[in-house]
Chains A and B, each alone.
Chain A
Amino acid sequence: MDNIMECRNLVKYYPGCLALNSVSLAVPKGQIVGLLGPNGSGKTTLIKLMNGLLTPTSGEILINGMKPGVETKRIVSYLPERTYLNDWMDVKTMTDFFGDFYKDFRKDKAYEMLQRLGINPKDRLKTMSKGTKEKVQLILVMSREAELYVLDEPIGGVDPATRDYILNTIISNYSENATVIISTHLISDVEKILDGVIFINKGSIVLTSTVDDIRENEGKSVDALFREVFKC
């Protein structure tokens, strides 16, 4: 089993909208992959299918060879685009919550990152700025020792300095066999840490390649290629 995520002819229909149009894709273990596409291209739909939050209309999606379910949730650490954490909780409560919920959660790691980013464990989510909320969530997600991290827009709301710290956290924390799938619009920020990219548009995969192959063959950055491919 060399692919952590695999889908074959994956189709997702919403009423009146074809969100994913027969997507076939494989993401190998041990890589950091960017899932890139314009708004409404199907990124979040694909991510929700990986996490079993949606069921395919047809086709198949496998996580580590299994259909999404309890077993796959054990090994997948997921950062959704919107928070599911309760407003009234403080950071310490949430950390305990994650610790109870996931066997692979490392509290020491979480506290180290919280401290580094100057977040007080006694602060409640309610009182935090949008960016700080995002940091807390990402810290919780990255403090698990998962096999697959699925990050839906992880750096959208944070400042560039924190962005660098977060990206650094991602590259220094993921273990050799772990895989990270990141969906984002901030391509120039993430492209240095990516192995491969997946371009998706209108529910179809437009391109899969490695960052260095794109630079070698096109003579331009992934960011520049994206702007070209998805020119409005």
Chain B
Amino acid sequence: MAWELKSDRPIYAQLVERIELMVVSGLYPPGCKLPSVRDLAAEAAVNPNTMQRAMSQLERSGLIFSQRTSGRFVTEDKEKIEEIKKSYAKEISDEYLRRMYKLGFTSAQITAFLDRTIEESEQNG
């Protein structure tokens, strides 16, 4: 199944995001070996050079590291992963807040609304 990619943003940036999410969500746990660039490119249905570029960026940011002969691995640094996870959480929360404010809700209303939604979703399992 090809990865779903948006058409108005650079592909490599979206690949970086996708792989970050896979790491953050635990699909690729710390220290786990990643598939080869070629296999990942085939999975995502993108150009291998673009996947390579995404990998290089992830290496620079420290989320993955490469070992000359044996391939690429997810960092063992759990704090680093947590940090990225939090930055995603922040991004999603900011976006949520922006849209709720736009709909005309106050902060208090938003908090109440969130509490209620969480409660409901817990009740529904």
On A, residues with C-beta under 8 Å from B are 30-32, 164, 167-168, 171-172, 176, 188, 191-195, 211-212, 215-216, 219-221, 223-224
A216-B45 contact in complex given A172-B38, A192-B5, C-beta closer than 8 Å: no
Asked whether A192 lies within 8 Å of B42 as measured between CB atoms, the reply is no
A192-B11 contact in complex given A32-B47, A171-B45, C-beta closer than 8 Å: yes
Residue of A nearest to B46 (CB): A192
A221 and B8 alpha carbons, distance in the complex (Å): 5
Asked whether B45 lies within 8 Å of A164 as measured between CB atoms, the reply is yes
Asked whether B49 lies within 8 Å of A31 as measured between CB atoms, the reply is yes
Interface residues as binary, B5-38 with A (CB distance below 8 Å gives 1, 0 otherwise): 1011111110000000000000000000000001
Asked whether B12 lies within 8 Å of A212 as measured between CB atoms, the reply is yes
Asked whether A167 lies within 8 Å of B10 as measured between CB atoms, the reply is no
A188 and B6 alpha carbons, distance in the complex (Å): 11
A176 and B38 alpha carbons, distance in the complex (Å): 10
Asked whether B45 lies within 8 Å of A193 as measured between CB atoms, the reply is yes
A124 and B48 alpha carbons, distance in the complex (Å): 35
B122 to chain A, nearest CB (A): 39
Residue of B nearest to A191 (CB): B7
Residue of A nearest to B39 (CB): A172
Asked whether A171 lies within 8 Å of B8 as measured between CB atoms, the reply is no
Chain B residues bordering chain A, tally (CB within 8 A): 19
Residue of B nearest to A32 (CB): B47
Asked whether A167 lies within 8 Å of B45 as measured between CB atoms, the reply is yes
Tell me if B74 is interfacial: C-beta within 8 Å of chain A. no
A48 to chain B, nearest CB (A): 26
A221 and B14 alpha carbons, distance in the complex (Å): 13
Q: Which residues of A contact B41 (CB under 8 A)?
A: 171-172
A76 and B49 alpha carbons, distance in the complex (Å): 21
Which 6 A-B pairs give the minimum distances between C-beta atoms?
A221-B7, A212-B10, A215-B10, A172-B42, A193-B47, A216-B10
A164-B10 contact in complex given A171-B46, A172-B42, A192-B46, C-beta closer than 8 Å: no
Of the residues A176, A193, A215, A220, contact of B46 by C-beta under 8 Å:
A193
A30-B49 contact in complex given A168-B42, A172-B42, A212-B12, C-beta closer than 8 Å: yes
Among B2, B10, B47, the most chain A Cβ lie within 10 Å of the Cβ of B47
Asked whether A224 lies within 8 Å of B7 as measured between CB atoms, the reply is yes
A171-B11 contact in complex given A164-B2, A192-B5, C-beta closer than 8 Å: no
A31 and B42 alpha carbons, distance in the complex (Å): 15
A200 to chain B, nearest CB (A): 21
Of the residues B2, B11, B38, contact of A215 by C-beta under 8 Å:
B11
A212 and B50 alpha carbons, distance in the complex (Å): 9
